[in-house]
Structure 1
Amino acid sequence: MSGVVVIIGAGQGGLQAAISLRQNGHEGPVILLGDEPGLPYQRPPLSKAYMFDGNEEALALRPESFLAAKQIDYRPATAARAIDRAARQVVTDAGRIAYDHLILATGARNLRPPLPGIERTVDLRTLADARVLRRRLAAPRRFAVIGGGFIGLEFAAVARKLGHEVVLAEAGPRLMARAVSPQMSQDFADMHRALGTDLRLADPVAAVTGEGMVLTSGAVVEADDVLLAAGVRPNTELAEDAGLEAANGIWVDGQLTTADPAISALGDCAAFPDARSGRRVRLESVQAATDHARHIAARLTGGNLPGYAAVPWFWSDQADWKLQIAGLAMPEDRAEQPAPHVVFRFDGHDRLTAVETINGPRIHMKARKAMAAGPVDAAQARDLLS
């Protein structure tokens, strides 16, 4: 196609879609709408490197000169308010923008559970959030963290390294339960406790107060700041208001197209059919967002493509441990630990669904390559260790 492509969302997925369109030869206008001021930036370092160095220039994904050279019409601080599908227009406070194809890269926002005092918490989702937290790390403080997922644990590791007191409360019985096996959860719990983080598992937060937080058990945690890191919610409202189907993400097909052929969706906001399991999934992963973006751009510029089938992968840096996950396991998948800090996950047919490693880049890369080539059985999985 040679028409106007409008992209709502200027995170890594949205920007990658704009870049890939140009790389693939799209000559029509590309308009990238971001609801934050400033240039598109990386989010993963916000809970890690940025907390130490405060280097905002290092966060920028591309300089302004690059966007200009690629003729990407980037419009920061321009929030989309509605989608007029009949007219093929995006409604913003600055006016209407016509499109021939629309890409929704609206991402996700922090989940805010209905707890008394939840308004007292601080977030870690945007650069503005990170600036606030970094300022508070400058002097000794007591931090409480709600949530034992990637963001909460990454921040806890940073805060402990800087000498702060940290209490982390997780409603479930183990850390990162949505992402990793029980064995890997235990490894990380042991590591964080060794760092000095006070973990409170299976004890949900009942309320946030001016002095900290109260747990369901009745325990009182005194803290100067309470970080909310209890998961995210996909930003699907624009799509839903426009009549597109959404349930834990905007529903798309194997080509990442919505029920409206003029609209695609990618990244954290998209729920798509997993090529291996057939289940509809939504991935919170920078790599998934950029892979989605490349696929959509290739489809828009090159015609027919096989359905999206990239092997998902994820990572989290906590203290001096790098967790890497190749593949996507379901909660019921069997876990096998063939070596320290390595876990294989298998489905009911003994097919490898994911490989979890700590500081094991070689095994991680071998696993991604093997799973991309086709199904991997238990015997083949053991070869990944050699």
Structure 2
Amino acid sequence: MDAAYVIVGAGLAGAKAAETLREEGYDGPLVLIGAEAERPYERPPLSKGYLMGRTAREKIYVHPAEWYAEHEVYLRLDSTVTAFDPTAHRVTLADGVTVGYSKLLLTTGATPRRLRVPGGERAEVLYLRTVQDSDRLRAAFRPGARIAVVGAGWIGLEAAAAAREAGASVTVLEAAELPLLRVLGREVAEVFAALHRAHGVDLRLGVQITELTEQGVRLGDGTLVEADTVLVGVGVAPDTALAEAAGLAVDNGIRTDEHLRTSDPDVFAAGDVANAFHPLFGRPIRVEHWANALHQPRTAARSMLGQDAVHDRVPYFFTDQFDLGMEYTGYVEPGAYDRVVFRGDVGARTFIAFWLAGGRVLAGMNVNVWDVTDPIRDLVRGGRPVDPAALADPDVPLDQF
């Protein structure tokens, strides 16, 4: 098959790109290649509803199984792309098959960072990226089980909450002073520390991991945290190997312009792997969240078709942990804000937090407060200085700023 539009990476981003190409009128050969045996599915349920047994497996898939044939999308699963040649415009698979392309989209996502300590590669040490990983964790989360979670980021905390709600005892081990400290800053990170402790999580902060053993996790001070199951959640790295080998510009992901075009005019990138120039922020940013995998591919697909499409959406993500539901809108580099303004009751975990720099709102996070993402987004996009006192006042409507 030659002169096809080829998408490498059959997750949410790849599936949405294929969907958009067909919706926009592309009727030529379309190939979607995925390394997993599963058809494209969404990953957020793997640490939330699906992990907790509340979301049925069929609900995690992006499209019904028959959708791909009905839309003439050649879905090649359980297939690893080993290389692509920008000069020859050909993709090579591990089995030796090659596919010619006229346009190529890379949605290769990210891979979990490994814990580089003795015992870190033991088969019993679990990571969470695939639906099979989630299945293994769900089986391990049972009443009386002892679960150790290494890393207090989003995945670690969501999994810890799921394990506690399943009746397991949970110890979370984190090198930083607070969970999510780098992402949220001290003011809001303390909310998540208090949340987990209130629900019985043994949260140990400022600790170092020296070894993973059959009995559990050995800490730097010699303490052994006994565990039946160890989950490691210490972040992910963009899967840029193919792009690097092909000579594309790579810097904390595959560099793209606002149209999601890489340094090669016939190659595009979207989702977790893309470090894309964002017109609102005036610089490239890489966002590892569901909304990016949902929306960026639409822009990439339209750009592949020659349309003047630009990705300039304000970043968004969400989490659900115990009785806390949260939406976050905006983007803040670590340490790039000068104050946090709270609106509402932080102690009751019903509030909005705003990150400000120079009086301008960089991001807002609504916790158990709903239907406010649009005005928060408008505040971020507007870039105008606001009165912090008025921002903190629940009686001042957000749409009046």
Common fold by TM > 0.5:
yes
Following TM superposition, by how much is the alpha carbon of 1:256 offset from its aligned partner in structure 2, in angstroms? 1.2
12-21 or 214-223, which moves further after superposition? 214-223
Using the alignment, how far apart are the partners of 2:153 and 2:384 within structure 1? Answer: 28
Following TM superposition, by how much is the alpha carbon of 1:77 offset from its aligned partner in structure 2, in angstroms? 0.6
Using the alignment, how far apart are the partners of 2:311 and 2:326 within structure 1? Answer: 25
Matched, 1:330 2:338: no
Following TM superposition, by how much is the alpha carbon of 1:363 offset from its aligned partner in structure 2, in angstroms? 2.3
Structure 1 unaligned residues grouped into runs of 5+: none
Using the alignment, how far apart are the partners of 1:24 and 1:302 within structure 2? Answer: 11
Using the alignment, how far apart are the partners of 1:384 and 1:268 within structure 2? Answer: 34
Following TM superposition, by how much is the alpha carbon of 1:138 offset from its aligned partner in structure 2, in angstroms? 4.0
Residue 119 of structure 2 aligns with which residue?
A: 117
Question: Cα deviations across residues 239-296 of structure 1 (Å, max 9, x unaligned)?
Answer: 0011112121111112111110010111111112232332322110111122110111
| Structure 2 counterparts to residues 235-384 of structure 1, below 5 A | 235-305=239-309, 307-332=310-335, 333-334=337-338, 335-340=340-345, 341-347=351-357, 349-372=358-381, 374-379=382-387, 382=391, 383=396
User: Do the aligned partners of 1:367 and 1:384 also contact (CA within 8 Å) in 2?
Assistant: no
Query: CA, structure 1 residues 274+47, in 2 after alignment: closer, same or farther (shift >3 Å)?
Result: same
User: Do the aligned partners of 1:82 and 1:91 also contact (CA within 8 Å) in 2?
Assistant: yes
Question: Cα deviations across residues 331-376 of structure 1 (Å, max 9, x unaligned)?
Answer: 22122223333211112x322110012112222232124434x324
Letter in structure 2 aligned against 1:115: V
Matched, 1:135 2:139: yes
Question: Cα deviations across residues 158-210 of structure 1 (Å, max 9, x unaligned)?
Answer: 11111111000111111112332322211111110011000011112222111
Question: Cα deviations across residues 117-176 of structure 1 (Å, max 9, x unaligned)?
Answer: 111311111011111111222453100001101111011011111111100011111111
Letter in structure 1 aligned against 2:324: W
Letter in structure 1 aligned against 2:225: V
Give percent identity, aligned residues only: 35
TM-score norm. by structure 1 comes to: 0.94
User: Do the aligned partners of 1:180 and 1:356 also contact (CA within 8 Å) in 2?
Assistant: no
Using the alignment, how far apart are the partners of 2:25 and 2:282 within structure 1? Answer: 32
Count of aligned pairs between the two proteins = 382
User: Do the aligned partners of 1:366 and 1:384 also contact (CA within 8 Å) in 2?
Assistant: no
| Structure 2 counterparts to residues 118-197 of structure 1, below 5 A | 118-120=120-122, 121-138=125-142, 140-197=144-201
Using the alignment, how far apart are the partners of 1:92 and 1:139 within structure 2? Answer: 44
Matched, 1:103 2:112: no
Residue 85 of structure 2 aligns with which residue?
A: 84
Matched, 1:72 2:70: no
Please give the secondary structure, in 2, of the residue aligned with 1:178: helix
Letter in structure 1 aligned against 2:34: G
Using the alignment, how far apart are the partners of 1:298 and 1:275 within structure 2? Answer: 17
Query: CA, structure 1 residues 173+108, in 2 after alignment: closer, same or farther (shift >3 Å)?
Result: same
Following TM superposition, by how much is the alpha carbon of 1:93 offset from its aligned partner in structure 2, in angstroms? 2.5
Structure 2 unaligned residues grouped into runs of 5+: 346-350
Please give the secondary structure, in 2, of the residue aligned with 1:99: strand
Residue 348 of structure 2 aligns with which residue?
A: none
User: Do the aligned partners of 1:174 and 1:182 also contact (CA within 8 Å) in 2?
Assistant: yes
Following TM superposition, by how much is the alpha carbon of 1:321 offset from its aligned partner in structure 2, in angstroms? 1.1
Using the alignment, how far apart are the partners of 2:311 and 2:192 within structure 1? Answer: 32
Residue 42 of structure 1 aligns with which residue?
A: 42
244-253 or 335-344, which moves further after superposition? 335-344
Using the alignment, how far apart are the partners of 2:18 and 2:231 within structure 1? Answer: 33
Residue 15 of structure 1 aligns with which residue?
A: 15
Using the alignment, how far apart are the partners of 1:18 and 1:220 within structure 2? Answer: 49
